[in-house]
Structure 1
C-alpha cells in the first residue's frame, strides 16, 4: 500500500508554476486554465487549482484521497473509480455540480462540502456510510430505494436551504440533527423508518415551516418499519391528534389532510398537556423499553 507515502492530495505548501500544464479551454470556463496533475507531483502537497487529476490512476493502492481547494468538476473526478481500494474521497471547495460517482467497491466516505451540488438522488455506493454535503445548493433529499441503510440524520442541520427530505425505508430511529435554522423545510417522509416514540417526533418542533409529515409504517404509528404487502390500515385517529398537538403547523399527516375536527381535538390535548405537564421521564423510560424490545426482535 502507498498509504504511508500518499494519504492526502490537497492545497497546502508552495509549488512552482512549472508543475502545472496550462492549455486553452472553451469560452464557458475560460477563466479557469486547465491544470493537469503530473505523476511526479503526486507525492507532494499541491496548490495548483487543478482541473484534471488523470495521473492519479497510476497509484492503484490509494485508500484516502483529498483533492479539496481545486477546480475539479464531477467529470474530472470520475477517474477515482480506477482506484480499486479507495475508501474516502474529500473534495471540498471544487466545481462539483453533482455527487454521482461511478460505483466503487470499497468507497465508504464522500465529503463534498462547499460545491454547487443540487441533488443527492443520483448518489449510490454499496458501502457508503458517510455523505457530507454541507453548504451546497441542495433543496431536496430523496434517496428512495437507492440507499436504505441510513441510520442517523446527524449533520443535516448544515442544509439550511433544504425544503424536502425523503428518507423512506431507512432504519432511522432517532431524529437528532434538525434545528431552527432550517426554516424552509416543509416536507419530511419517514415512511417505514424505525421512529418509535413521541419523544423523537418532538425533535421536529424546531422546524417552523414543516406542514407535511409522512410516518406511515413507523413503529410509533403501529407499523413494523418495513414495507407491508398487506392492505394498508387507516391511521390511528388518536395518534394523528397526538402528532398534530406536537406539531400544530402540520396540514397533512400521511396521505390525509388534517381536518378541522382533528385540529380542535389537538388543541384540547395541548391544553391537557399544559395542565398535567409533559412527563419527559416517562417518555424516556417508554423509549428505552421499546429499544430493548426492538433489539430482542432483531436478535
Structure 2
C-alpha cells in the first residue's frame, strides 16, 4: 500500500507532495505494465522451491502454542514465479511478499490462516478472491489484471489496495464482512460509477484516474475523512451529502467542473477543510477563490493556499449582502399575500 500524505493538519505543501507521489506511482505503474506486456500464456513454469524459501524467510517467532519457533516472514519478489503451491506447508507465515512475479493463482495462501500482511503487486492475477483469512489486516494487489472486487471478506482487513487494475464496477464488498476496512485504494482502474462502496467504516477512499462523471452512492460514508477523485471526468458536484459528516479533505483536481455554482453543493459537508480544484474549467473564473469561500465559510484551504483573514472578512460581507438581498426579495411577496388576505 502506498503511503498517503497525512491530511489531518493540511500542511501547506501537501499538494506538492501529493503531486510528487502521483508521479512516482504513475512511473511505478508504467514499470509494472511494461513488464506485463512481456507476459505470454506460454511463460515457462517456475515453481517456488525450498531453496528460494530459505533465501526469502526471516523473522523467527514463537508459534501459536509458544512451544516452538518458525520463520513468519517471506519475501520472494521478482523471481519469475508462476507457482507458489509450496506455501501450503508454511502455515505459520504472517507476512508474505510475492510481488513482481507471474502468478495467476494465490489459492495456496488459503492455508496461511495466521497471515497478517500480503503484498502481491505486479503479477498476472485476474481476481483478488481468497478464502476468509481471519487475521489479515493489509492486502495489496496493485497493478495486476483484476476485473472485479468479488470474494474479499476478511473480517480484520483494514487496508485494501487494488490500484492499477481493470475493475469497471465495485461489487461484492459486504460491509458486514469488511467491518474493519478503513482504507480502500482503487486508483487507476476503469470505474465509471462509485456505486457499490457502501462501507460505513471507511475513512480513506482513493478513486483517482478512473472514468467517473459524478459521485453517487457514497452518502452513508459517515466516517470518511479523505476522498481522492483526481483525474476523472466529473462535471457535477451532486452526490455529496450532509451525512458525510467526517469528510475533511476532497481532491477534485483535473476534472470537468465548469460552473462555480456547483460549489454550493459542498456547503452541507460540515467538516470539509481542504478542497483541491486545480485543472477544472471553473478555476479560470476571476472570482473562483472568493466564491468557494462564500459558499463554504468553514473552508481553510483551497488548492495549495490557506485563506487569509482579509479573504474571510470579504467573504463574510458578500455572504451578508446576499442574505439581505434574499430577505428584501421575499418582503414584497409577503406584503402581497397580506393584501390578498
TM-score range, shorter chain: 0.5 to 0.7
Equivalent residue, structure 2, for 1:265: 314
SS state of the match for residue 141, structure 1? Answer: strand
Equivalent residue, structure 2, for 1:276: 325
Q: 1:117·1:136 contact (CA, 8 Å) conserved in 2? A: no
Aligned equivalents of 1:71, 1:257: Cα separation in 2:
44
Q: 1:174 to 1:264 in 2, by over 3 A?
A: same
Give the count of matched residue pairs: 201
Q: 1:205·1:246 contact (CA, 8 Å) conserved in 2? A: yes
Residue number among 170, 175, 185 corresponding to 1:109 in the alignment: 170
Q: 1:74·1:100 contact (CA, 8 Å) conserved in 2? A: no
- 1:143-173 deviation per Cα after TM superposition (whole angstroms, max 9, x unaligned): 44xx332222111212111112221111111
Residue number among 101, 118, 131 corresponding to 2:182 in the alignment: 118
Q: CA deviation at 1:201?
A: 0.8
Equivalent residue, structure 1, for 2:206: 142
Aligned equivalents of 1:76, 1:193: Cα separation in 2:
29
TM norm structure 1: 0.54
Q: 2:229·2:251 contact (CA, 8 Å) conserved in 1? A: yes
Residue number among 190, 214, 217 corresponding to 2:276 in the alignment: 214
Q: CA deviation at 1:189?
A: 1.5
Q: CA deviation at 1:272?
A: 2.4
Matches within 5 A, 1:223-238: 236=286, 238=287
Q: 1:109·1:129 contact (CA, 8 Å) conserved in 2? A: no
Q: 2:182·2:202 contact (CA, 8 Å) conserved in 1? A: yes
Equivalent residue, structure 2, for 1:184: 246
Q: 1:110·1:130 contact (CA, 8 Å) conserved in 2? A: no
- Which 5+ residue runs of structure 2 have no aligned equivalent? 1-62, 66-108, 112-128, 328-341
Q: CA deviation at 1:244?
A: 0.9
Q: Does 1:167 align with 2:216?
A: no
Aligned equivalents of 1:102, 1:181: Cα separation in 2:
27
Q: 1:27 to 1:136 in 2, by over 3 A?
A: farther
Matches within 5 A, 1:12-27: 27=64
Q: CA deviation at 1:90?
A: 6.3
Q: CA deviation at 1:27?
A: 4.7
Q: 2:228·2:250 contact (CA, 8 Å) conserved in 1? A: yes
SS state of the match for residue 120, structure 1? Answer: strand
Equivalent residue, structure 1, for 2:42: none
Aligned equivalents of 2:164, 2:295: Cα separation in 1:
42
Aligned equivalents of 1:193, 1:102: Cα separation in 2:
19
